[in-house]
Structure 1
Protein backbone atom coordinates (compact mmCIF):
# COMPACT_ATOMS: atom_id res chain seq x y z
CA UNK A 1 0.00 0.00 0.00
CA UNK A 2 0.94 3.64 -0.36
CA UNK A 3 2.53 5.59 2.47
CA UNK A 4 2.35 8.86 0.51
CA UNK A 5 -0.30 9.88 -1.99
CA UNK A 6 0.86 10.47 -5.55
CA UNK A 7 0.40 14.23 -5.09
CA UNK A 8 2.40 14.26 -1.82
CA UNK A 9 5.13 12.20 -3.45
CA UNK A 10 5.43 14.71 -6.30
CA UNK A 11 5.50 17.64 -3.84
CA UNK A 12 7.84 16.17 -1.21
CA UNK A 13 10.37 14.11 -3.16
CA UNK A 14 13.19 15.36 -5.36
CA UNK A 15 13.57 13.75 -8.78
CA UNK A 16 17.38 13.55 -8.66
CA UNK A 17 17.42 12.26 -5.06
CA UNK A 18 15.05 9.45 -6.01
CA UNK A 19 17.13 8.56 -9.09
CA UNK A 20 20.32 8.51 -7.01
CA UNK A 21 18.76 6.26 -4.36
CA UNK A 22 17.43 3.85 -6.98
CA UNK A 23 20.85 3.76 -8.64
CA UNK A 24 22.50 2.95 -5.28
CA UNK A 25 20.05 0.04 -4.91
CA UNK A 26 20.97 -1.23 -8.39
CA UNK A 27 17.55 -0.33 -9.82
CA UNK A 28 17.35 0.90 -13.40
CA UNK A 29 14.35 3.01 -14.37
CA UNK A 30 12.99 4.29 -17.68
CA UNK A 31 10.05 6.70 -17.59
CA UNK A 32 8.43 9.18 -19.93
CA UNK A 33 7.85 11.79 -17.21
CA UNK A 34 9.97 12.75 -14.17
CA UNK A 35 6.82 13.05 -12.02
CA UNK A 36 6.28 9.30 -12.41
CA UNK A 37 9.64 8.68 -10.73
CA UNK A 38 8.50 10.47 -7.57
CA UNK A 39 5.06 8.80 -7.60
CA UNK A 40 6.63 5.33 -7.65
CA UNK A 41 9.60 6.06 -5.36
CA UNK A 42 10.25 3.46 -2.64
CA UNK A 43 9.49 6.12 -0.01
CA UNK A 44 5.97 6.43 -1.42
CA UNK A 45 5.12 2.88 -0.32
CA UNK A 46 4.73 1.14 3.03
CA UNK A 47 7.34 -1.44 3.99
CA UNK A 48 6.05 -4.68 2.45
CA UNK A 49 7.49 -6.83 5.26
CA UNK A 50 5.57 -4.81 7.86
CA UNK A 51 2.34 -5.12 5.85
CA UNK A 52 2.76 -8.89 5.40
CA UNK A 53 3.57 -9.39 9.09
CA UNK A 54 0.51 -7.37 10.14
CA UNK A 55 -1.78 -9.37 7.84
CA UNK A 56 -0.27 -12.65 9.07
CA UNK A 57 -0.65 -11.65 12.73
CA UNK A 58 -4.28 -10.60 12.13
CA UNK A 59 -5.00 -14.01 10.62
CA UNK A 60 -6.13 -12.66 7.25
CA UNK A 61 -3.20 -14.17 5.37
CA UNK A 62 -0.52 -16.78 5.82
CA UNK A 63 3.16 -16.22 5.06
CA UNK A 64 4.51 -18.97 2.85
CA UNK A 65 7.29 -17.61 0.61
CA UNK A 66 9.25 -14.40 0.04
CA UNK A 67 9.77 -13.32 -3.55
CA UNK A 68 12.19 -10.79 -4.98
CA UNK A 69 11.01 -8.91 -8.07
CA UNK A 70 13.37 -8.85 -11.02
CA UNK A 71 11.36 -6.48 -13.23
CA UNK A 72 8.31 -4.25 -13.15
CA UNK A 73 6.59 -3.03 -16.28
CA UNK A 74 3.81 -0.47 -16.06
CA UNK A 75 1.88 1.17 -18.79
Structure 2
Protein backbone atom coordinates (compact mmCIF):
# COMPACT_ATOMS: atom_id res chain seq x y z
CA UNK A 1 0.00 0.00 0.00
CA UNK A 2 1.37 3.38 -1.03
CA UNK A 3 1.01 6.29 1.38
CA UNK A 4 -0.08 9.74 0.22
CA UNK A 5 2.92 12.06 0.18
CA UNK A 6 2.36 15.74 0.71
CA UNK A 7 5.07 17.86 -0.89
CA UNK A 8 6.71 20.32 1.45
CA UNK A 9 6.10 23.96 0.52
CA UNK A 10 8.83 25.66 -1.50
CA UNK A 11 8.97 29.33 -0.57
CA UNK A 12 10.07 31.95 -3.09
CA UNK A 13 12.93 34.25 -2.10
CA UNK A 14 10.83 37.26 -3.13
CA UNK A 15 7.01 37.46 -3.37
CA UNK A 16 5.69 37.85 -6.91
CA UNK A 17 2.48 39.59 -8.05
CA UNK A 18 -0.60 37.63 -9.08
CA UNK A 19 -4.31 38.25 -9.62
CA UNK A 20 -7.16 36.10 -8.27
CA UNK A 21 -9.24 34.56 -11.08
CA UNK A 22 -11.38 32.20 -8.99
CA UNK A 23 -12.36 32.94 -5.37
CA UNK A 24 -9.99 31.61 -2.69
CA UNK A 25 -11.11 31.04 0.89
CA UNK A 26 -9.48 29.50 3.94
CA UNK A 27 -11.50 26.33 3.24
CA UNK A 28 -11.36 26.22 -0.57
CA UNK A 29 -8.50 26.71 -3.01
CA UNK A 30 -9.11 28.79 -6.10
CA UNK A 31 -7.11 30.01 -9.08
CA UNK A 32 -4.75 32.89 -9.84
CA UNK A 33 -3.14 34.35 -12.92
CA UNK A 34 0.61 34.36 -12.38
CA UNK A 35 3.19 35.14 -15.06
CA UNK A 36 0.61 34.91 -17.90
CA UNK A 37 -0.60 31.45 -16.83
CA UNK A 38 -3.45 30.26 -14.60
CA UNK A 39 -2.55 28.19 -11.54
CA UNK A 40 -4.41 26.52 -8.67
CA UNK A 41 -3.84 28.55 -5.52
CA UNK A 42 -4.52 28.50 -1.81
CA UNK A 43 -3.97 30.85 1.12
CA UNK A 44 -0.48 30.61 2.58
CA UNK A 45 -1.65 31.01 6.16
CA UNK A 46 -4.94 29.57 7.30
CA UNK A 47 -6.55 32.98 7.80
CA UNK A 48 -10.32 33.39 7.88
CA UNK A 49 -10.67 35.44 4.73
CA UNK A 50 -11.84 35.41 1.15
CA UNK A 51 -9.83 36.61 -1.82
CA UNK A 52 -12.14 37.80 -4.60
CA UNK A 53 -11.64 37.67 -8.37
CA UNK A 54 -9.63 40.67 -9.58
CA UNK A 55 -7.86 41.10 -6.24
CA UNK A 56 -4.08 41.43 -6.41
CA UNK A 57 -2.11 38.98 -4.29
CA UNK A 58 1.47 38.14 -3.43
CA UNK A 59 2.56 34.69 -4.59
CA UNK A 60 4.95 33.56 -1.86
CA UNK A 61 5.64 29.93 -2.78
CA UNK A 62 4.20 26.70 -4.10
CA UNK A 63 3.25 23.26 -2.86
CA UNK A 64 3.28 20.80 -5.71
CA UNK A 65 1.53 22.67 -8.53
CA UNK A 66 -0.54 24.83 -6.14
CA UNK A 67 0.66 28.38 -5.55
CA UNK A 68 0.66 29.79 -2.02
CA UNK A 69 -0.73 33.32 -1.88
CA UNK A 70 -1.47 36.06 0.62
CA UNK A 71 -3.38 39.32 0.22
CA UNK A 72 -1.46 42.51 -0.51
With the length of structure 2 as denominator, give the TM-score of the two structures: 0.21
Higher helix share: 1
Higher strand share: 2
With the length of structure 1 as denominator, give the TM-score of the two structures: 0.20
Tell which structure's C-alpha radius of gyration is larger.
Answer: 1
